[in-house]
């Protein structure tokens, strides 16, 4: 595997490439994003036509934008989409007009409490147009007429999402999902996309037990579309993780699935605790990212959410301050490391049956004690063997053993491998 410092820098470089693109829930910005991701991992791109019924929703019209600005009487652009995709209200309908500032104000969005920042705002399902700008920019505008132009189209088209599959030893699936609908916001969610991409590359190098399906889709409507189009596959999904806000300087936060005790919930709690990283584990709420779609009661999948600082939990959230300076290679590398550790536990968390359950089997006769000679953790490894034998009843997995014994999961898994090789347990 690539060193963590190297992968962190590579993830940051991917975020830099994606940052300028104007993404939304549909449109060419999403396609351009997926074309870049496809350079790193091969994607299967899906185009779902406008008007398609997806569960209780309908795929909306496709939105594309070429230019947008507000110009003063001299022709100077005081608000310019070309400077940042955040400057236009997402899904703005076309407009070309001249109007006084008093009339224009109703279409201008600012953050009075954060006067130097530009907000991120959208109007997906209501025909509207508008601009986002810093409050201090608005305060400096003189009264008078302004030229207003939004060069956009809102027409029948498609919703675009993509998948990448890492084949496993079994068809049971783990889904890793991240949204691709936000414009120039580095943490939410370009960092999540980057971590997902590099996680997929690492998993492919180690031939995992489970099949891993990576879903890159617009938030809410994209996940709903994926679920609607994959109802026959959902029963294969045994575990899942939604990745977002993966690059900020905050501590890691894991949000449990709706079930609360799904295997992925236990794995993340164990990995974060064992790593001694500062972290939080929170309960499920039906608000946030797309875990709420995968966990909706009809599907009730075991899907949790991993972030650093959660949504709306940092002042830079959904503002122009969520920029390339806000995310770091080190933070993304740390998020990637936790994902790697968690999926390593998930892949190796087998249940075994003790084939010599009547009394303690003689380990020395089978050379199992000899195999520990010279190991600094020989006593711990021996205890792991005894614990695995004790709990190999077909009902307890290796994570149960690690949690109950207080031993590291890697030590427990190595003990299971040794006992399996000696013919004392079977999966």
Residue % of the chain over a pLDDT of 70: 97
**Residue where a domain terminates, one of 155, 184, 217:** 155
Tell whether 258 and 357 lie within a shared domain.
no
**Residue where a domain terminates, one of 293, 326, 348:** 348
Residue 367 pLDDT: 82
Tell whether 257 and 145 lie within a shared domain.
no
Q: For residues 399-424, give the mean pLDDT.
A: 94
Torsion sign over Cα 5, 11, 12, 14: positive
Confidence check: pLDDT of 377 > 80: no
Residue 2 pLDDT: 45
Task: Considering only CA atoms, give the Rg of the chain.
Answer: 25
Cα(89)–Cα(85) distance, rounded to whole angstroms? 9
Closest CA to 89 of 185, 24, 158, 157: 24
Q: What are phi and psi of 49, to 5 degrees?
A: -65, 150
CATH number, domain of 404, equals: 1.10.10.10
Tell whether 266 and 220 lie within a shared domain.
yes
Instruction: Say what the pTM is.
Output: 0.95
Tell whether 187 and 308 lie within a shared domain.
yes
Confidence of residue 381 (pLDDT cuts 50, 70, 90): confident
Q: For residues 257-278, give the mean pLDDT.
A: 96
Confidence of residue 363 (pLDDT cuts 50, 70, 90): confident
**Residue where a domain terminates, one of 309, 327, 348:** 348
Residue 378 pLDDT: 77
Angle among Cα 39, 305, 198 to the nearest 5 degrees reads: 25
Confidence check: pLDDT of 77 > 60: yes
CATH number, domain of 46, equals: 3.40.630.10
Check whether 182 is labelled as a binding-site residue. yes
Check whether 318 is labelled as a binding-site residue. yes
pLDDT tens profile 52-74: 999 999 999 999 999 999 999 99
Residue 5 pLDDT: 62
Tell whether 341 and 360 lie within a shared domain.
no
Tell whether 205 and 250 lie within a shared domain.
yes
Tell whether 115 and 172 lie within a shared domain.
no
CA distances from residue 282 to 43, 240, 271, 399 in whole angstroms, order as listed: 32, 16, 15, 20
Q: Could you tell me the residue range of the domain that residue 236 belongs to?
A: 4-59+158-348
* 219: its two tokens: 């938030």
Confidence check: pLDDT of 161 > 90: yes
* Mean pLDDT (the chain, rounded): 95
Tell whether 203 and 320 lie within a shared domain.
yes
Confidence check: pLDDT of 265 > 70: yes
CATH number, domain of 124, equals: 3.50.30.90
Tell whether 263 and 243 lie within a shared domain.
yes
Check whether 188 is labelled as a binding-site residue. yes
Confidence check: pLDDT of 272 > 50: yes
Tell whether 242 and 315 lie within a shared domain.
yes
Residue 1 pLDDT: 41
Give me the number of domains the chain comprises. Answer: 3
Tell whether 258 and 294 lie within a shared domain.
yes
Contact by Cβ (8 Å): 181, 30: yes
pLDDT tens profile 186-226: 999 999 999 999 999 999 999 899 999 999 999 999 999 99
Residue 369 pLDDT: 72
* 58: its two tokens: 């309908």
Q: For residues 152-173, give the mean pLDDT.
A: 98
Residue 370 pLDDT: 63
Task: Dump strand ranges (E) for 259-392.
Answer: 279-282, 303-307, 351-354
DSSP track, 293-356: HHTSTTT---EEEEESSPTT-STTTTBTTSSTTT--HHHHHHHHHHHHHHHHHHHH--EEEESS
Residue 15 pLDDT: 98
Tell whether 221 and 293 lie within a shared domain.
yes
Confidence of residue 348 (pLDDT cuts 50, 70, 90): very high
């Amino acid at each position: 595997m690539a060193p963590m410092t190297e992968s962190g820098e590579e993830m940051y470089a991917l975020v830099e490439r994606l940052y300028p693109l104007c993404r939304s829930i549909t449109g060419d910005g999403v396609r351009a994003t997926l074309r870049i991701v496809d350079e790193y991992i091969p994607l299967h791109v899906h185009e779902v036509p406008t008007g398609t019924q997806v569960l209780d929703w309908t795929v909306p019209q496709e939105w594309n934008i070429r230019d947008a600005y507000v110009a003063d009487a001299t022709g100077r652009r005081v608000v310019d989409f070309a400077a940042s995709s955040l400057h236009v209200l997402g899904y703005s309908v076309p407009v070309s007009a001249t109007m006084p500032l008093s009339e224009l104000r109703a279409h201008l969005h600012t953050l009075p409490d954060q006067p130097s920042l530009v907000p991120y705002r959208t109007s997906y399902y209501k025909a509207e147009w508008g601009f986002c700008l810093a409050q201090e920019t608005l305060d400096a505008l003189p009264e008078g007429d302004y030229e207003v132009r939004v060069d956009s189209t809102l027409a029948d088209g498609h919703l675009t999402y993509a998948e990448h599959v890492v084949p496993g030893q079994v068809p049971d699936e783990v889904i890793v999902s991240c949204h691709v609908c936000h414009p120039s916001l580095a943490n939410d969610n370009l960092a999540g996309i980057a971590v997902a991409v590099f996680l997929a590359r690492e998993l492919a190098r180690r031939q995992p037990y489970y099949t891993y399906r990576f879903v890159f889709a617009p938030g809410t409507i994209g996940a709903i579309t994926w679920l609607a189009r994959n109802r026959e596959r959902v029963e294969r999904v045994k575990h899942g993780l939604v990745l977002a806000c993966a690059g900020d300087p905050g501590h890691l936060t894991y949000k449990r699935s709706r079930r609360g005790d799904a295997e992925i919930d236990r794995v993340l709690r164990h990995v974060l605790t064992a790593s001694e990283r500062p972290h939080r584990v929170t309960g499920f709420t039906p608000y946030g990212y797309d875990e709420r779609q995968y966990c909706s009661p009809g599907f009730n999948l075991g899907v949790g959410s991993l972030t650093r600082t959660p949504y709306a939990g940092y002042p830079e959230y959904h503002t122009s301050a969520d920029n390339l300076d806000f995310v770091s290679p080190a933070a993304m590398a740390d998020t990637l490391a936790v994902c790697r550790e968690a999926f390593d536990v998930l892949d190796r968390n087998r249940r075994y049956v003790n084939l010599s359950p009547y009394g303690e089997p003689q380990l020395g006769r089978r050379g199992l004690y000899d195999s520990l000679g010279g190991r600094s953790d020989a006593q711990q490894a021996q205890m792991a063997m005894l614990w695995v034998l004790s709990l190999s009843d077909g009902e307890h997995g290796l994570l149960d053993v690690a949690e109950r014994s207080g031993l590291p999961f890697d030590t427990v898994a190595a003990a299971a491998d040794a006992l399996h090789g000696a013919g004392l347990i079977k999966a």
